């Protein structure tokens, strides 16, 4: 994009928004913000607020980093969750996440190196790093998924130290996920499964820090995946809920989602949109 074009878009389009101030009452939030939701999502450009289908101004306190990692922005999250007291913490990952793929490649590369080392030495490597995840060895056995083969060939060592430092914590959840890929046998689903495993891990971390607020019913932690490849269903662009407060059994998730809707007095239970919501729980509160 030419810089001139960027200036044009910024100046002209923002003016269109600013002009709306006749209709938009900025005075509601010019002194304070009152967001009910904190959203932690990936910095990926394909994720923008529009995917949630609602006006997010003054509703969503957004924190973003590569791979939607809780530990990377603890200060901003603590401010939103404990000073602004948002009631919902939504951790949103997505399909085809570059950070997740990076971590998967790095996990596989490191294990490959250890495997080679083990062939020639009977002692542990000098770094003291031990092979701790038998799942990755399983994934390297005969019948390896295409995605694993693809990730294994990627050269992730070319990334700068700063990039590596930010991505490598993701190898912890990703190593958990890799073991199961051979059983899935669908490339879209396999990559999405790794993103889903990362979200589960980030929900776990959030429960570590904010579990007390969840117990006191001051906070609900919701994990989800933005699926723009059609990994969860044939409808691309869906946001799928994959975890609620650490629950990741599909039936229990749906049961919880129904109970939350049922308990909300503001929802008109006889309306068509409520019936649609019930139907969508079947399809969009789901897991791979
Ligand atoms: Zn991403």
Q: Which of 6-15, 108-117, 209-218 has the lowest mean pLDDT?
A: 108-117
Q: Is residue 44 part of a domain?
A: yes
Please give the distance, rounded to the nearest whole angstrom, from the Cα atom of residue 94 to the centre of ligand 1: 6
Q: Are 35 and 83 in contact (CB under 8 A)?
A: no
The single-letter DSSP state of residue 44 is -
In 3D space, the residue among 249, 269, 221, 100 whose CA is nearest the CA of residue 168 turns out to be 100
Work out whether the CA dihedral 280, 282, 287, 288 comes out positive or negative. Answer: negative
C-alpha of residue 102 to centroid of ligand 1, in Å: 10
Does 258 fall in a domain?
no
254 in a structural domain = no
State the average pLDDT over residues 150-169: 88
- Tokens describing residue 13: 């389009």
Q: Is 276 part of a structural domain of the chain?
A: no
Q: What range does the domain containing 166 cover?
A: 35-246
| Highest mean pLDDT (candidates 70-79, 150-159, 160-169) | 70-79
**Chain mean pLDDT for the chain:** 88
Ligand 1: centre distance to CA 243 (Å): 18
Q: What is the whole-number distance in angstroms between the Cα of residue 196 and the centre of ligand 1?
A: 12
Q: Mean pLDDT over residues 146-161, rounded?
A: 84
Maximum distance among all Cα pairs of the chain, rounded to whole angstroms? 74
Distance between Cα 259 and ligand 1 center (Å): 31
Other Cβ atoms closer than 10 A to 273: 9
Query: Does 213 fall in a domain?
Result: yes
CA distance 272 to 165: 49
Overall number of domains in the chain: 1
226 in a domain, yes or no? yes
- pLDDT of 126 above 60: no
Of 103-117, 135-149, 169-183, minimum mean pLDDT range? 135-149
Q: What is the CATH number of the domain that holds 154?
A: 3.40.1050.10
Q: Does residue 53 carry a pLDDT above 50? A: yes
Residue 13 lies in a domain: no
Distance 141 CA to ligand 1 centre (A): 28
The closest of 148, 75, 141 to 109, measured between CA atoms, is: 148
Q: Which of the two residues, 106 and 61, has the higher pLDDT score? A: 61
Answer whether residue 8 is part of any domain.
no
Report CA(67)–ligand 1 centroid distance (Å).
5
Alpha-carbon distance of 178 to 197, in angstroms, equals 9
Distance between CA atoms of residues 140 and 161, nearest Å: 27
159 and 186 in contact (C-beta within 8 Å)? Answer: no
pLDDT value for 268: 97
């Amino acid at each position: 994009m030419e810089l001139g074009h960027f200036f044009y878009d910024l100046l002209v389009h923002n003016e269109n928004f600013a002009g709306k101030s006749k209709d938009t009452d900025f005075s509601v939030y010019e002194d304070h913000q009152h967001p009910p939701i904190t959203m932690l999502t990936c910095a990926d450009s394909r994720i923008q607020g529009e995917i949630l289908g609602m006006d997010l101004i003054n509703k969503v306190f957004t924190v973003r980093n590569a791979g939607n990692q809780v530990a990377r922005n603890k200060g901003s999250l603590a401010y939103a969750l404990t000073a602004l007291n948002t009631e919902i913490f939504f951790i949103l990952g997505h399909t085809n996440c570059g950070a997740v793929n990076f971590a998967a490649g790095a996990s596989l590369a490191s294990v490959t190196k250890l495997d080679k080392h083990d062939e020639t030495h009977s002692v542990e490597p000098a770094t003291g790093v031990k092979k701790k995840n038998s799942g990755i060895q399983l994934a390297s056995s005969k019948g390896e998924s295409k995605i694993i083969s693809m990730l294994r060939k990627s050269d992730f060592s070319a990334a700068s130290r700063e990039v590596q430092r930010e991505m490598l914590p993701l190898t912890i959840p990703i190593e958990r996920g890799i073991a199961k890929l051979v059983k899935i046998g669908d490339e879209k689903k396999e990559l999405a499964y790794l993103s889903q495993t990362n979200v589960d891990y980030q929900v776990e971390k959030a429960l570590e820090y904010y579990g007390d607020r969840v117990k006191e019913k001051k906070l609900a932690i919701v994990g989800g995946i933005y699926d723009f490849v059609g990994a969860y269903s044939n409808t691309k662009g869906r946001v799928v809920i994959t975890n609620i407060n650490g629950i990741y059994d599909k039936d229990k998730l749906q049961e919880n989602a129904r109970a939350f809707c049922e308990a909300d007095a503001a929802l008109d239970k006889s309306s068509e949109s409520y019936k649609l919501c019930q139907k969508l729980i079947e399809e969009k509160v789901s897991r791979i």
